[in-house]
C-alpha cells in the first residue's frame, strides 16, 4: 500500500473539508472560526426525506451554506483547488489512491485506533461496554481507517453516558485535537499498535431490546437511542431507563411490575426502572404519562 502524502511542514491555511452527519458540523465551524480558508466542502448528495419527499442537504452541507462556503458532492474536486490539506470527518466513503496521491488527507476518527475502525465506532464502544474510548487525528490511506496516528486523546465512558453525550464530548475533544495539530504541526504519524476491531454500522434489529440479557447490556442498547420493544403487539420506544434500586419480587425477562409510581421490567439478570417511553404513533413521554395512558398490568410482558 502506498504511503499517504505527508502534511506540509509549513503552516496549513487552505483546507478542503469532507463530512456529512451532524457530528461533523462542529469541526467545520471551528476551522472557519479559526481563520482557515475552506475553498470547498464536500458532502453526500442531497436526499429525499419527510412526507413531502423534499430534497434536503446533509447537516454538513447545510452548515457550509450558512457559513457561505462552496459545496459539492464530487470528491475528485478536492484535488483540483491547490489546497494544502483535506480534513475528513465522518465522510463515509473510502478515497481512491489517485486522489490520495494529489493531496494530503487527515481524518478525525472517534475511537482509539485500531479499536473500532469503521462506520460506528462510538456506538460499538458503548455496546461493548468499553471503559475508555477517545479520538484520533490520523493519516488517510486507501484502507479502512488503517493510517498512522498523529495525535490521540482518551476519555472514560461513564455509566450514565448515552450516544448523544459521548458523541458530544468526543466531537469537542476531537475538534480541539485537530486545531492543535494545525497550529503546532502534525509531525510524523505513528503506526497503529494492537489488534484491529471493526465497527460495523448498527443494524435496526440490534436496537430491539432483548430482556433475556443482563440489565447492564439492555441499558447499553437503550443508550444508543431509538431502542425498542413491543407491548400488546405495538412498538414501544424506550428512551431512558436505569437499574432499579429495589424490586418487590423476582421478575422474569420482560415482565412488568408496578412499585409505587415506578414501572419495573425484569431482565436475564437484574431489574430496570423505565423512565421515558414513546408508544407507537405518540410523542415521547415520561413514565407517569405513559402509565396513565397505557395502564400496564403487573405480569404483562414486553417483547415477544
Cell 511542514, residue located: 9
The confidence score (pLDDT) of residue 7 equals 87
* Residues 77/40, Cβ–Cβ less than 8 Å: yes
Tell me which DSSP letter residue 255 carries: B
C-alpha cell of residue 156: 472514560
204-294 is a CATH 3.40.50.720 domain: no
Residue range 54-69, pLDDT digits in tens: 889 999 999 999 999 9
What are residue 3's phi and psi, to 5 degrees?
A: -75, 145
The answer, yes or no, to whether residue 51 has pLDDT greater than 70, is no
Q: What is the mean pLDDT of residues 228-234?
A: 96
Q: Please, which residues have CB within 8 angstroms of residue 263's CB and are 6 or more apart in sequence?
A: 256, 257, 273, 274, 287, 290, 291, 296
Q: Can you give the residue ranges of every domain in the chain?
A: 15-199, 204-294
Amino acid 151: pLDDT:
97
Phi, psi of 37 (to 5 degrees): -85, 120
Are 15-199 and 204-294 equal in CATH topology?
Answer: no
pLDDT in tens, 176-227: 999 999 999 999 999 999 999 999 999 999 999 999 999 999 999 999 999 9
Query: How many Å apart are CA 273 and CA 288, to the nearest integer?
Result: 12
How far is the C-alpha of 197 from the C-alpha of 113, rounded, in Å? Answer: 9
CA distances from 93 to 105, 145, 195, 225, 284 (A): 13, 11, 23, 24, 34
Does residue 52 register a pLDDT over 70? no
> CA 270 to CA 115: how far, in whole Å?
30
Burial code (b: 16+ CB inside 10 Å, e: under 16) for 190-208 equals eebeeeebebeebeeeebe
Instruction: Answer yes or no: CATH 3.30.70.100 is held by domain 15-199.
Output: no
Distance, in Å, from the CA atom of 275 to the CA atom of 263, rounded to the nearest integer, reads 8
DSSP calls for 132-188: EEEEEEEE--SSTT-S-EEEEEEEE--TT--HHHHHHHHHHHHHHHHHHHHHH---P
Report how far apart, in Å, the C-alpha atoms of 147 and of each of 24, 133, 220 are. Answer: 20, 18, 30
If you compute the radius of gyration of the chain from its CA atoms, what whole number of angstroms results? 23
pLDDT at 203: 95
Residue 57: closest CA among 67, 179, 119: 67
Whether the pLDDT of residue 1 is over 60: the answer is no
Amino acid at each position: 500500500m502506498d504511503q499517504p502524502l505527508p502534511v506540509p511542514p509549513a503552516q496549513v491555511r487552505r483546507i478542503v473539508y469532507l463530512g456529512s452527519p451532524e457530528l461533523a458540523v462542529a469541526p467545520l465551524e471551528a476551522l472557519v472560526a479559526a481563520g482557515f480558508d475552506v475553498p470547498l466542502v464536500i458532502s453526500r448528495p442531497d436526499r429525499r426525506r419527510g412526507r413531502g419527499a423534499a430534497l434536503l442537504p446533509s447537516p454538513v452541507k447545510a452548515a457550509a451554506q450558512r457559513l457561505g462556503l462552496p459545496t459539492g458532492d464530487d470528491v475528485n474536486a478536492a484535488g483540483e483547488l491547490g489546497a494544502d490539506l483535506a480534513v475528513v470527518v465522518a465522510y463515509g466513503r473510502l478515497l481512491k489512491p489517485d486522489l490520495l496521491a494529489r493531496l494530503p488527507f487527515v481524518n478525525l476518527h472517534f475511537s482509539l485506533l485500531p479499536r473500532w475502525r469503521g462506520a460506528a465506532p462510538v456506538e460499538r464502544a458503548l455496546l461493548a461496554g468499553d471503559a475508555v474510548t477517545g479520538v484520533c487525528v490520523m493519516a488517510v490511506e486507501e484502507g479502512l481507517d488503517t493510517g498512522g496516528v498523529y495525535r490521540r486523546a482518551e476519555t472514560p465512558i461513564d455509566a450514565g453516558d448515552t450516544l448523544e453525550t459521548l458523541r458530544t464530548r468526543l466531537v469537542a475533544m476531537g475538534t480541539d485535537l485537530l486545531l492543535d495539530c494545525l497550529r503546532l504541526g502534525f509531525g510524523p504519524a505513528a503506526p497503529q499498535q494492537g489488534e484491529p476491531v471493526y465497527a460495523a454500522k448498527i443494524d435496526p434489529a440490534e436496537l430491539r431490546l432483548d430482556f433475556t440479557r443482563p440489565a447492564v447490556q439492555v441499558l447499553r442498547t437503550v443508550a444508543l437511542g431509538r431502542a425498542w420493544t413491543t407491548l400488546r403487539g405495538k412498538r414501544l420506544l424506550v428512551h431512558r431507563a436505569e437499574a432499579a434500586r429495589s424490586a418487590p419480587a423476582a421478575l422474569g425477562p420482560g415482565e412488568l411490575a408496578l412499585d409505587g409510581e415506578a414501572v419495573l421490567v425484569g431482565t436475564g439478570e437484574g431489574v430496570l426502572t423505565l423512565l421515558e417511553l414513546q408508544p407507537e404513533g405518540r410523542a415521547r413521554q415520561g413514565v407517569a404519562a405513559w402509565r396513565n395512558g397505557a395502564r400496564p398490568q403487573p405480569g404483562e410482558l414486553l417483547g415477544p
